[in-house]
Chains A and B, each alone.
Chain A
Amino acid sequence: DAEITQSPRHKITETGRQVTLACHQTWNHNNMFWYRQDLGHGLRLIHYSYGVHDTNKGEVSDGYSVSRSNTEDLPLTLESAASSQTSVYFCASSEKQGSTEAFFGQGTRLTVV
């Protein structure tokens, strides 16, 4: 079955370190998204991609970067981790640019100490 997987599921890192969260989908979806979930803020869009070599900033992109070298993967990098980036991160994918159902991964809980 097609799926979307995130790794690691849990990570603790130190302030100032570079961290990369992985996202891999096997649906062959063009669209991929990264969100962070924080209590009281819901899901906020960090970065998104509509296809290979396409990346766009979302509403909370500062301190994060992504690259899309193939259809299946959209890794999220925290350039220099900060305590404010402690959160649960979700990756999602959808089929095409028109508004359609997005499928979410299980999430990565990141703690920055």
Chain B
Amino acid sequence: QQQVKQSPQSLIVQKGGISIINCAYENTAFDYFPWYQQFPGKGPALLIAIRPDVSEKKEGRFTISFNKSAKQFSLHIMDSQPGDSATYFCAAAGTGKLIFGQGTTLQVKP
């Protein structure tokens, strides 16, 4: 079964707009929720991560919002830029192994 569900599968945003990607998880033992960014031909790289003791974490234009009771978390990319065009994966971990969502392909149009 899919322990981490991610939506949407693809997203097109105009430059300067807000990109929002959502994830839901099932296992309440998860205690680490990262987002990874992947460019074509490259391996995923950590973008930003949050632990369940906080509801929001912001790093530059990237923000994670976390709702523990709903078992949901989301990535917000403010002032989206063409250079943000990539595939984004949410993930969850409880014992060190990461379980990933299905991925979202983001295209930011100039």
Contacts and interface: CB of A to CB of B under 8 A. Distances in A.
A43 B97 contact: no
Contacts of A90: 43-44
A4 B94 CA distance: 23
B100 A43 contact: yes
B18 interface: no
Nearest to B45: A104
Counting chain B CB atoms within 10 Å of each CB, the highest count among A31, A97, A104 belongs to: A104
Given A42-B100, A45-B99, 20 more contacts: A33-B97, A40-B9, A40-B102, A42-B89, A43-B98, A43-B100, A45-B100, A90-B43, A96-B96, A97-B95, A97-B96, A99-B32, A99-B96, A100-B32, A100-B96, A101-B34, A101-B46, A104-B44, A104-B45, A107-B43
Interface in A68-113: 90, 92, 94, 96-102, 104-107
Interface in B25-49: 31-32, 34, 36, 41-46, 49
B42 A106 contact: yes
List 6 A-B pairs, minimum CB-CB distance, nearest first. A99-B32, A104-B43, A99-B93, A43-B100, A42-B102, A97-B96
A33 B103 contact: no
A12 B49 CA distance: 36
Nearest to A6: B43
Nearest to B101: A42
A35 B97 CA distance: 11
Contacts of A16: none
Interface in A1-49: 31, 33, 35, 40-45, 48
A50 B93 CA distance: 14
Given A41-B102, A42-B102, A101 B97 contact: no
B49 A101 contact: yes
A84 to B, nearest CB: 18
